[in-house]
Amino acid sequence: MTSDGLRYPPPWTSGIDIPGLPLLVAPARRVLAVVTAFDHVEKPAAVVAAHAEISTASAERHLRNLSRLGLVQPGKADPGTYQLGSGPSPLMPAVLSNDGYGRATAWHLANVFEVARVLGADALPRREQIRPDPDRPGLVPSDRSQALAWFAAERENLVRELELAKDLGDDEQAWRLALLMLNISCFAGTWTNWRTVYDLGIRAARRDRAAAAQGMLFEFRGKLELTDGDPVAARNAHALAVTLRGTADPATSVRSINALGVTWLRERVLPDAERLFQEALDLALEFGDEEFETFARMNLGAVYARTGRTERAVELLQTAITALRAAGRDQYVANALEDLAVAHRLAGDLNTAKKIALEAEAAAVAAGIPLFLSGPLCELATIETDLGHLRVAIAHLNEALGIYRELGNEMYVAHVEQRIDTLTQRVGQDALGAADLPKAGND
C-alpha cells in the first residue's frame, strides 16, 4: 500500500524499470508507444497527441524529452514532426484506435479550414464553421501566400488522411475535408489527385446522405474541370449541382447557376452566359444572398463589356467593386477591375483601360493569389498590343503563361502560347522592316 492508501502508485507518476532507460511517467510512455506504432514514419506532434489522448503542448513536452534521450528524433524537414529514434523502441507499439484516428482527422480538418478561410474558400453547407480544438490547436496561416504554400506541401498527405477516413467509415469528416480541399484547389490550381479527392468526397457524402454537400462537390468539380480545359465536363457537373442544390437547398442553387454561366463566359457564348447570370442575380435578390448578388452583377458587367453596352457594364462593375471591398472580398476586386478595363478598351479608350488594368494588376498582387494575376496580365498585354507596345505585351504574356502552367490550366496555356508566337512574329517582321529603311549618313 502507498502512503495515500492506494494499492499501486497512480499511473501519471509511475515509471518503467527497463535497464538503461530512465524512468518515464505514464503520458511519456504513452507518447513513446504511439511513436513506436508509426514505425519510423514522421508524424506531427498534434497527431501523436491525438492518439495519446493528451494536448499537443503536453505531447511536445514529452517528445522533446524523449528526443533528448535518443528515443525519438525530430523530422529533418519539419522539426514539428517526430519519428522513432535510430535504435529499437523499448516499448511495444500502441494499438491505434479509431477514436485516435478520428481526433487526428479532426486536427487536419481544422488546419484545412483555416487555410480555406484565409483564402476565402471556407464554404461548407449551411455556412458551417470548423472550430479548432483548444487542446490541439492547428495551423493559422498569416496570409494567402503562406496558405497556398502550405496546401501545396501538404495536399498529398491530406489525400492519405482522406483515404484513411474513408477506410474507417468517418464519412462526416471525409466529405468536409474533400469539400475544403477542392475549393482550395479552385484557387491553387489543379493537380494530379484532385479527382481522387472528389471521388472519395462524393462517396462519403452519398453514404452520409448529405445532399447539400453532394451539390457543392459537383460545383467544385465543375470549376476544376473548367480549369483543366474541359468546359463540357464542367457544364455537366454544374448542371448536376444546380439540380441537387435546387432540391436540397434552393437558396444555394444561385451559386451553381452563376458557375454554369462562367463556363459560357469563358467560351464567349455570351447570350447563354447573360441569361444564367441574370437568373443568378434574380435568385440572389430573392433570397437575400448579398455575396452572389455581387458576383452576378460583376459577371453581367463582364458580358455587357464584351457586347458593347459600355455604360451599363461600367455601372455594374463599379457597383460590384464597391461591394467587394466593403465585404472584405478584396481578392475578387482584380477580376472586376480587369472586366472594367475590357469595357473601356472595347469602347476605344485605351488610356483609361490601361490605367484600370494596372489597378487590377496591383489588386491581384496585393491579394497574394497567382490565379487572380494572370487575367490582368493578359488584359494588359491586349492593351499594350493595341497601343503598339508589342515587346511589353509579350513580357506580360510570358508571366501569365508561367502562372497558367503552375496552375495546370492547359486550355489557357495553349491560348497564351499562341498569342506569344503571333506577337513574336510581328516583332520579327517589324525588325526586318526597320532594317530595310535607308540609313541616315554623310554622302
Among 13-17, 395-399, 428-432, the least confident range: 13-17
Question: At residue 77, does pLDDT exceed 60?
Answer: yes
Confidence of residue 434 (pLDDT cuts 50, 70, 90): low
Question: Using CA atoms, how far apart are residues 154 and 176, in angstroms rounded to an integer?
Answer: 17
Confidence of residue 5 (pLDDT cuts 50, 70, 90): very low
Q: All 3 cell numbers of residue 400?
A: 501569365
Write out pLDDT tens, residues 86-138.
888 888 899 999 999 999 999 999 999 999 999 999 999 989 999 889 999 98
In the chain, the percentage of residues whose pLDDT exceeds 70 is 93
Give the pLDDT confidence score for residue 4 in this predicted structure. Answer: 38
Domains and CATH numbers, the chain: 26-96 (1.10.10.10), 97-248 (1.25.40), 371-432 (no CATH)
Confidence of residue 437 (pLDDT cuts 50, 70, 90): very low
Question: At residue 17, does pLDDT exceed 90?
Answer: no
Give the pLDDT confidence score for residue 16 in this predicted structure. Answer: 56
Write out pLDDT tens, residues 25-64.
889 999 999 999 998 899 999 999 999 999 999 999 999 9
Write out pLDDT tens, residues 322-351.
999 999 999 899 999 999 999 999 999 999
Among 9-23, 71-85, 210-224, 227-241, the least confident range: 9-23
Residue 315 makes CB contacts below 8 A (sequence gap 6+) with: 301
More confident residue, 245 or 344: 344
Write out pLDDT tens, residues 134-167.
999 988 899 999 999 999 999 999 999 999 999 9
Give the pLDDT confidence score for residue 213 in this predicted structure. Answer: 95
Give the pLDDT confidence score for residue 416 in this predicted structure. Answer: 96
Q: Give 222-227 contacts, CB < 8 A, sequence gap 24+.
A: 222/256, 222/259, 222/260, 222/263, 223/186, 223/259, 224/182, 224/185, 224/186, 224/190, 224/194, 224/198, 226/262, 226/263, 226/266, 227/186, 227/189, 227/190, 227/407, 227/408, 227/409
